[in-house]
């Protein structure tokens, strides 16, 4: 089962739409982390074996600078998406990124591409 943690910038209703597709989704606002630091959110995602979905570039920077192997982070870099569009986007790209996300990856979704970088980002992999 796909287990996601949606960051504060994403609508809670996107999680509800994904839950209909049998995904296990929680929003940081629903678990008392709406004002938490990015590191605390990553720690929660790792502990709970969840993939973090965000609009925030800082999550990828934290993973890269700490040599973390988990959690995976999916960064959405598309402007103006509503909850339905976010849910549809994640459902559409999931088959292409699922294995990488399970193993540990930084995933970026843009208008034109999907980029996947395996974790950890260490000197050996650069």
Q: Is residue 125 assigned to a domain?
A: no
> pLDDT band at 1, cuts 50/70/90?
confident
Cβ partners under 8 Å of residue 36, min gap 6: 28, 44
**Which tokens is 107 given?**
């995933």
Which tens digits make up the pLDDT trace of 29-42?
999 999 999 999 99
* Number of domains the chain is built from: 1
Percent of the chain with pLDDT over 70: 97
Q: Which domain holds residue 30?
A: 3-118
> pLDDT band at 50, cuts 50/70/90?
very high
Q: Is residue 126 assigned to a domain?
A: no
Which tens digits make up the pLDDT trace of 70-107?
999 999 999 899 999 999 999 999 999 999 999 999 99
CA nearest to 5, candidates 37, 42, 59, 56: 42
Pick 64 or 123 by higher pLDDT. Answer: 64
Give the C-alpha separation, 36 to 29, whole Å: 10
Strands 105-110 and 114-118: antiparallel
Q: Is residue 124 assigned to a domain?
A: no
């Amino acid at each position: 089962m796909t287990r996601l943690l949606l960051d504060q910038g994403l609508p809670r209703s996107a999680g509800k739409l994904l839950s209909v597709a049998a995904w296990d989704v929680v929003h940081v606002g629903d678990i008392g982390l709406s004002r938490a630091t990015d590191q605390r959110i990553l720690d929660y995602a790792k502990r709970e074996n969840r993939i973090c979905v965000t609009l925030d570039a800082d999550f990828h920077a934290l993973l890269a600078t700490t040599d973390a192997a988990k959690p995976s982070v999916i960064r959405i870099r598309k402007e103006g998406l509503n909850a339905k569009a976010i849910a549809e986007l994640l459902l559409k790209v999931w088959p292409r990124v699922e294995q990488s996300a399970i193993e540990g990856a930084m995933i970026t979704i843009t208008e034109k591409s999907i980029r996947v970088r395996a974790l950890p980002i260490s000197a050996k992999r650069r």
